[in-house]
Amino acid sequence: MNSILHAPARRVPTLDGARTRGIYVQFYDPEGTRYGLPTYPYHWAPKNLLTIRQLRAKGLRPGGQQPVAQILWRRGRRVAYLYDTRLALPKRTATPAQLAALAAAMRARRTCPACGAVQPYCIPVSIGTCNDCDPAVTS
């Protein structure tokens, strides 16, 4: 990867000292030389780097930025990409028209095609009707 795209490596002093104590930390690569992106072990990423779910919990979104680091765990089979909170943007809110469209779509999913009743649950696609119209449920 191009080093211009990434901020300077954020080193973790505790993990840097682990190797001198004879402890091998497999997924610690703050420069990104082994794994392409700066890589940290699970629970050891710098505080300003968050996953998409963590950004959403704080009311943010990546805002078009590419991942700046990653977390690897489970022998490298699991990966979580990290985004810089300083470049994140606020989450967008739905417009009234979008909210109305979503409400209409959900109402259509709750409307029984046989009797036309609007149910408090989504009509199962496997049955195709509400529980009141389904002979297997009513008998």
Whether 3 is covered by a domain: the verdict is no
Q: How high is the pLDDT of residue 4?
A: 40
Residue 66 shares a structural domain with residue 84: yes
Q: What are phi and psi of 37, to 5 degrees?
A: -120, 155
Residue type, 36: G
Whether 5 is covered by a domain: the verdict is no
Residue 107 shares a structural domain with residue 62: no
Q: How high is the pLDDT of residue 62?
A: 95
Whether 2 is covered by a domain: the verdict is no
What is the number of domains present in the chain? 2
User: Are the C-beta atoms of 5 and 66 separated by less than 8 Å?
Assistant: yes
Domain that holds residue 106: 96-138
Residue 114 shares a structural domain with residue 67: no
Q: Which is more confidently placed, 42 or 104?
A: 104
Q: How high is the pLDDT of residue 2?
A: 43
Residue 17 shares a structural domain with residue 85: yes
Share above pLDDT 90 across residues of the chain, in percent, rounded to a whole number: 53
Q: Which is more confidently placed, 7 or 37?
A: 37
pLDDT per position as a tens digit, 18-35: 666 655 567 788 888 888
User: What sign does the CA torsion over 111, 98, 91, 30 have?
Assistant: positive
Cα–Cα distance for residue pair 118/122, rounded to 1 Å: 9
Residue 114 shares a structural domain with residue 133: yes
The mean pLDDT of the chain is 85
Whether 7 is covered by a domain: the verdict is no
